[in-house]
Amino acid sequence: MNNKVEEALEELKGSISDFDESEIREEVEDLILKYKVPKDQAVSTILRKHTGTTRKTVGQKNISELNSGDSGVEITGRILRVVDREIEVDSEPRSIRSGTIADKSGSIDFTAWRDFPFEENSVVEIKNAYVKEYRNRPELQIGDYAEIREPSESDLPTAEQLKKPIKVDLDNVDRVYTAEVEAEIVEVMERSGLIMRCPECNRVTMASECQEHGKVDTIPDLRIKAVLDDGVGAIQATMPKEIVETMVGITLDEAMEMAREEMDKTVVYEEVKKVVGKSIVTVGRAIGNNFLVMDYKEVSWDPEEKAKQILQQIKEA
């Protein structure tokens, strides 16, 4: 057995999606043993042939540094959340496990395409995984060639500590489990204010009609769909009833009373639009392309001061 050949194979395993070991082994042996090509160059050549790119394995990384397109990824993290799903692959039902894994630097969602018998709180060391973009954010893919082990000891913080808010700018809310951002509410979108929900699936109904359950006895709710901007990035944010009630200073009952008097729900929309222009420090979680506001505090900003801060950040970057 040749070490260089085995190392090259190991690097390629995580990077080629339909990895055929005997085929790739033959190519590696040809280049390294027969043509005396250096290992790194052999890996690049084979990668280019099979994937069209020469991207290299990235090796050990902090979770917050992972980017879509990375392969041969090695991380150690604590699992904060797992979800099991049934999907169909070639019309065969298959159970896959996904979730969120974190280290001190941040967190990333993952999908395991292989047996992954680890529960919340477990610390796992994963090698040979890759990162793909899913719903506009990087997602760790744990494929058949990934190696996983549970280290016997770990100095990672507890799950509770890892779930605490980390201060980030709006471009990086998807890099952490719970984000703290300082931003301005620049827009309140339609379908904000008083809305009606389906009692069965919680979807927002239109004219008492749920797209899934038809005519239903709707349940009233308050929410704001807003756009937050912090000068670095912008994101759509959803504020649940509790947040709307304190931020706007109106209860659900009062909102319903207003709508009844005017016989029109849009009066509530006009009312909640008053939050545009507010600056807030908010704690929340990015879910897909949406930022779910869990808490907030109003702050006052000196726009000139903020501009200076942003310039400083750009210089430092």
Q: Provide, rounded to whole angstroms, the least separation between the CB of residue 221 and Zn ion.
A: 13
What are the distances in angstroms from CA 175 to CA 56, 62, 138, 285?
22, 11, 9, 10
Q: Report how many residues bind Zn ion under the rule CB under 5 A.
A: 7
Can residue 213 be called a binding residue for Zn ion (CB under 5 A)?
yes
Amino acid at 210: C
* Pairing outcome for strands 147-149 and 214-215: unpaired
CB neighbours (10 Å) of residue 260? 11
Between 24 and 210, whose beta carbon lies closer to Zn ion? 210
Give the interface segment with Zn ion, choosing from 45-53, 108-116, 171-179, 196-204 (CB under 5 A).
Answer: 196-204
Q: Give CA–CA dist 153/311, Å, rounded.
A: 43
Which residues lie across from 279 on neighbouring strands? 184, 299
Q: Quick one: angle between helices 21-29 and 3-13, nearest 10? A: 140
Q: Provide, rounded to whole angstroms, the least separation between the CB of residue 106 and Zn ion.
A: 35
Give the interface segment with Zn ion, choosing from 122-130, 185-193, 197-205, 306-314 (CB under 5 A).
Answer: 197-205
Q: Provide, rounded to whole angstroms, the least separation between the CB of residue 30 and Zn ion.
A: 59
CB neighbours (10 Å) of residue 250? 20
* Residue of 33, 201, 276, 287 that binds Zn ion (CB under 5 A): 201
Q: Give CA–CA dist 36/309, Å, rounded.
A: 54
Can residue 196 be called a binding residue for Zn ion (CB under 5 A)?
no
* Residue of 133, 144, 212, 264 that binds Zn ion (CB under 5 A): 212
Between 133 and 217, whose beta carbon lies closer to Zn ion? 217
Between 173 and 210, whose beta carbon lies closer to Zn ion? 210
* Residue of 20, 115, 200, 270 that binds Zn ion (CB under 5 A): 200
Residue nearest to Zn ion (CB): 198
Q: Provide, rounded to whole angstroms, the least separation between the CB of residue 208 and Zn ion.
A: 11
Between 151 and 214, whose beta carbon lies closer to Zn ion? 214
* Residue of 80, 140, 196, 198 that binds Zn ion (CB under 5 A): 198
Which residues lie across from 111 on neighbouring strands? 98, 141
Classify 97 as helix, strand or coil.
strand
Q: Give CA–CA dist 63/106, Å, rounded.
A: 6
Residue 215 in tokens? 């005519």
Q: Which residues bind Zn ion (CB under 5 A)?
A: 198, 200-201, 203, 210, 212-213
